């Protein structure tokens, strides 16, 4: 079988790429998926405007106008955003919708339900071997294979890569929750060094879980599950909300959070989790997968139309221009950041997050912006210490609410 563009993976990144190429009738494309469309089925939190941009608004499970950080047995801070800026996506539904769009729009894209077992990269063609021993030869390959990292796993890694090992679930029969809760639960060594989440989903449902950051790509699901159960039974008020709830389905997996050094190799582009594009400060991979999946598809079409594979390198430079600084700044302190203790997170809530406006908070989540400057850290650390000495209440947990 021959085609112009082959895409491995019908997750959100591969499908976004498929949508970008399927409208172009001049080129044939094959989307190869081994486990079913949208098989990695989390309840991911993302930004309302990107979902609007990709016409997936009908795939939202819930929308939120506030965002909460909560430290176990400690402080919390709620930013009231003034609009429903955050949403939880129905991942499977969104993927099914994109798949329908990609395969229906033109006759040029087909979905092949097979597993890729091998790849050989040639000068002009990439050969992809499937589990039924057939081969596909393609002029361009887009690897959107998620945490399987089909291409990246073939090359030696330079430096340490980090992964978020996630374990949680979607629950039904959840107790009454005072308002729509969209909550990041701060890291804690007993529950997970990557932090956790609690999102109320309406109709007595909620998603809850914890993650652990590791340099090992393979998770220990037994240990993750124990951590999750510990958080579920002890982190109030979430443990109360979940006391009589039952698990509808579990949400677990791996999010690579160290970006690949090179996303483009001759006639191959790597995108989404396969390229480690999820933000390393919040482990959010939906927006980059949608945005750069589409760009990968557009770049593939451009390279074919100009018959010039080096055009694909533009993909690398556009990603770097928009993201490299933020990613690399966060990467510098990654190991220390994710293994910080209760007191560090108390400090962060009281001396950093409490000073951000809701708009700045959204920028922080999305782009890692509005970070404290060195002199601000020094001044606030000094002030914090003085308060701890002279104000009795300074040690106590504070519950902040920030409005615009
Ligand atoms: C539990 C959990 C919670 C998360 N929460 C959030 C969140 O709150 N916010 C957020 O933004 N992000 C979140 N993420 C991350 C986000 O879901 C991912 O970054 C995003 O889904 C990546 O999309 P993708 O298309 O790159 O990968 P995937 O969705 O993993 O798609 C890859 C596809 O490739 C297929 N595949 C792999 N290998 C092969 C092969 N050899 N042959 C054929 N097919 C293959 C797989 O079956 C899969 O369908 C979460 C992830 C998990 C696991």
**Which pTM value belongs to this model?**
0.96
Write down how long the chain is.
Answer: 404
Distance of CA 147 from the midpoint of ligand 1 (Å): 7
Are 201 and 186 within 8 A, CB to CB?
no
DSSP run (H or E) holding 213:
strand 205-214
Summarize the confidence of residues 140-161 as an average pLDDT: 86
Atom of ligand 1 nearest to the CA of 117: 41
List the Cα angle 212/215/218 in 5-degree steps: 75
pLDDT at 107 over 70: no
Atom of ligand 1 nearest to the CA of 38: 49
List the Cα angle 14/15/17 in 5-degree steps: 65
Which residue's CA is minimally distant from atom 10 of ligand 1? 284
Query: What is the model's pLDDT at position 74?
Result: 96
195-242 per-position pLDDT tens digit: 999 999 999 999 999 999 999 999 999 999 999 999 999 999 999 999
Ligand 1 pocket test, pick from 92, 117, 145, 184 with the greatest ligand atom count within 8 Å of Cβ, gives: 145
At 150, list the tokens: 């089909």
Q: How confident is the model at residue 123 (pLDDT cuts 50, 70, 90)?
A: confident
Pocket of ligand 1 (CB under 6 A): 8-14, 32-35, 39-40, 42, 44-46, 115-116, 144-148, 150, 166, 168, 251-253, 255, 272-274, 278, 284-286, 289
Atom of ligand 1 nearest to the CA of 274: 26
At 6, list the tokens: 């082959």
Task: Tell me how far CA of residue 55 lies from CA of 13, 23, 38, 290, 373, in angstroms.
Answer: 15, 16, 17, 11, 38
Mean pLDDT of the chain: 94
Ligand 1 pocket test, pick from 194, 214, 273 with the greatest ligand atom count within 8 Å of Cβ, gives: 273
Measured distance CA(20)–CA(26) in Å, rounded: 13
pLDDT at 93 over 90: yes
153-204 per-position pLDDT tens digit: 777 666 679 999 999 999 999 999 988 999 999 999 999 999 999 999 999 9
């Amino acid at each position: 079988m021959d085609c112009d563009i082959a895409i491995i993976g019908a997750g959100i990144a591969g499908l976004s790429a498929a949508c970008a190429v399927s409208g172009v009738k001049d080129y044939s494309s094959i989307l190869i998926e081994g486990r079913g469309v949208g098989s990695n089925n989390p309840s991911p939190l993302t930004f309302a405007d990107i979902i609007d941009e990709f016409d997936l608004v009908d795939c939202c499970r819930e929308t939120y106008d506030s965002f909460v950080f909560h430290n176990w047995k400690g402080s919390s801070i709620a930013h009231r955003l003034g609009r429903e800026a955050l949403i939880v996506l129905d991942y499977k539904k969104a993927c099914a919708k994109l798949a329908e769009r990609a395969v229906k729009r033109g006759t040029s894209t087909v979905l092949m339900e097979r597993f890729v077992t091998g790849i050989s990269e040639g000068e002009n063609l990439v050969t992809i071997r499937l589990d039924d021993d057939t081969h596909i030869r393609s002029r361009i390959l887009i690897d959107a294979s998620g945490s399987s990292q089909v291409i990246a796993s073939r090359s030696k890694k330079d430096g340490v890569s980090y992964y978020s090992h996630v374990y949680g679930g979607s629950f039904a029969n959840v107790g009454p929750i005072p308002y729509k809760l969209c909550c990041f639960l701060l890291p804690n060594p007993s529950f997970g060094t990557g932090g956790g989440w609690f999102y109320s989903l309406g109709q007595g449902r909620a998603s809850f879980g914890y993650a652990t950051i590791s340099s090992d790509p393979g998770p220990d699901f037994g240990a993750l599950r124990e951590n999750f159960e510990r958080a579920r039974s002890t982190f109030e008020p979430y443990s109360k909300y979940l006391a009589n709830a039952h698990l509808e389905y579990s949400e677990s997996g791996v999010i690579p959070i160290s970006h690949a050094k090179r996303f483009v190799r001759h006639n191959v582009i790597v995108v989404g989790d396969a390229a480690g594009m999820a933000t390393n400060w919040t482990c959010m991979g939906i927006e980059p997968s949608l945005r750069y999946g589409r760009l990968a598809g557009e770049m593939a079409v451009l390279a074919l139309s100009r018959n010039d594979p080096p055009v694909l390198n533009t993909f690398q430079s556009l990603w770097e221009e928009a993201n490299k600084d933020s990613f690399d700044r966060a990467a510098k302190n990654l190991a220390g950041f994710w293994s910080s203790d209760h007191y560090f997170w108390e400090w962060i809530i009281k001396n950093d997050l409490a000073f951000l406006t809701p708009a700045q908070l959204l920028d922080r989540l999305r782009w890692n912006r509005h970070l404290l400057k060195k002199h601000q850290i020094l001044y606030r650390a000094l002030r914090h210490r003085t308060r701890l000495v002279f104000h009795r209440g300074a040690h106590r947990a504070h519950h902040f609410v920030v409005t615009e």
